[in-house]
Amino acid sequence: MTRREFELQFRNLYLPLGMYALRIVGDVEVAEDMVQEAFMKAWLAVESGSEIGYFRSYIYQIVRNECISYLRSRKETVGLDVVPEVDDDVVDTSVRDARIWRAVDELPERCREVFLLSKRDGLSNEEIAEELSISVKTVKNQMTKAFSRLREALSPHHKPFFLPFLFLG
């Protein structure tokens, strides 16, 4: 694998891997650290001449192992059954979550703020209006705009979706 091929894999897989780790550990910073550590381990393997046949499977497995190590170090009482095996469904879910997250991130600032307060934080329209010092009608308009833009951004691969990663505690 060349440096260029590795960089392309990094660009394509970084956010989906982060979504995968986030679902398991529930902490954005920890998930991000795990993904960075996984890419460092993969790069060291590539540099040492190791032949990696299926890079995507390889890097997901590294992240999975990082998640398991993290949970063990925290002496989590949950079983390892919480950490899914890496299969096509797990990869597809993390890729979908990454696409949704990118679409949310591309919303206009106020629209994104209203959307996240509603969907991630569970605030009512009235609570959002009070928090942001705007009218309830403006909140409703921003939510309509957000859903419209998200539908448009995700339409090439449009499937019904919900935003599971926004509800992590």
Identify the pLDDT of residue 22: 86
Q: 1-85 belongs to which CATH class?
A: mainly alpha
Is pLDDT above 60 for 164?
no
Write the pLDDT tens digit of every residue in 41-91.
999 988 888 888 888 889 999 999 998 888 888 776 555 566 767 777 777
CATH topology of domain 106-169: Arc Repressor Mutant, subunit A (1.10.10)
Write the pLDDT tens digit of every residue in 81-139.
667 677 777 777 777 777 777 888 888 888 888 888 888 778 889 999 998 999 999 99
List, as own/partner pairs, every contact residues 111-114 make where C-beta atoms lie below 8 angstroms and the sequence separation is at least 24, other chains included: 111/142, 111/145, 111/146, 111/149, 112/146, 114/139, 114/142, 114/143, 114/146
Identify the pLDDT of residue 162: 46
Identify the pLDDT of residue 137: 94
Map tokens 């509603």 to a residue.
118
Q: Where are the domains of the chain?
A: 1-85, 106-169
Length of the chain: 169
Is pLDDT above 60 for 168?
no
Is pLDDT above 90 for 38?
yes
Identify the pLDDT of residue 161: 46
Biggest CA–CA distance in the chain, Å, is 60
